[in-house]
Amino acid sequence: MDFKELEAWFRERPKWVQEAAHRLVKNENLSEADIEDLLGICIAEAVCGEVNFSALPPGSLCLCHIDTTEPIHLKSISDVKGINALAPSNPLEFGEHPLCIVYGRNAAGKSG
């Protein structure tokens, strides 16, 4: 299912679900006030059908602004605390090549 199909699916859901999706896309979380508002929309929709709500704006689920054509490359991990035997002052370097082998003595923190 692509983003357009998912947006179309949301347009067919109850209005409180559409409003919840809109708020989640906008704010990433629902507050207690949001939940109270959504309950009011749900009840109003069940009783009279006339409801003020915000549908998902077209394209709001699309991650088009993220360039997925470039691979992600983790070069190192540093400033770690409390992860096995990894030292905060000594970064773990992965290098520039696509394959990396992590090795070391037992209890050196490799599995962490």
Write down the mean pLDDT value for the chain.
Answer: 81
Q: What are phi and psi of 92, to 5 degrees?
A: -90, 110
Q: Which of the residue ranges 5-9, 57-61, 69-73, 87-91 has the most confident prediction, judged by mean pLDDT?
A: 5-9
Residue with tokens 């054509």: 69
Alpha helices by DSSP H, the chain: 3-11, 15-27, 32-47
Q: How far apart are CA 27 and CA 22, in angstroms?
A: 9
Domain ranges of the chain: 1-66, 71-112
Say what the pLDDT of residue 112 is. Answer: 63
Say what the pLDDT of residue 35 is. Answer: 93
| Band (43; pLDDT cuts 50, 70, 90) | very high
> Which whole number is the average pLDDT over 65-83?
73
Taking the model in full, what pTM does it have? 0.54
| Band (100; pLDDT cuts 50, 70, 90) | low
CB contact at 8 A, 34 and 23: yes
